[in-house]
Amino acid sequence: MIRAALGRPLMLLLSGSIAGLVLGILASRLLAQIVYEATPHDPLVLAGTIVTMALLGLLATWIPARRSMSIDPARLLRED
């Protein structure tokens, strides 16, 4: 059941992460000038960014999905 609630948000998270990673790589020359001692394709920075985005996105989708799964649909329909 939780898989159904998280399916679409996780697909949006994945597509947004890929788009952000591609744009970040394209802008890497500018970022290398701003960030001290970072090369344009620093694997540690890219890996850290991917992991951080994935964890925050998972947390941002999991918490509302878990809360919505705890509501009884019959009770919700009776209240409206």
Rounded distance between C-alpha atoms, residue 59 and residue 14, angstroms: 14
pLDDT in tens, 30-66: 767 777 766 766 777 777 777 887 788 888 888 888 8
Residue 45 tokens read as 């920075």
Structural domain tally of the chain? 1
Domain annotation covers residue 78: no
Question: H helices of 27-72, where?
Answer: 28-34, 43-69
pLDDT for 80 equals 59
Q: Quote the domain boundaries for residue 27.
A: 8-63
The predicted model scores a pTM of 0.54
Domain annotation covers residue 2: no
Provide the pLDDT confidence category of residue 1 given band limits of 50, 70 and 90.
low
Q: Once rounded to an integer, what is the mean pLDDT over residues 9-32?
A: 77
Task: Give 5-48 as a DSSP string.
Answer: HHHHHHHHHHHHHHHHHHHHHHTHHHHHHHSTT--TT-HHHHHH
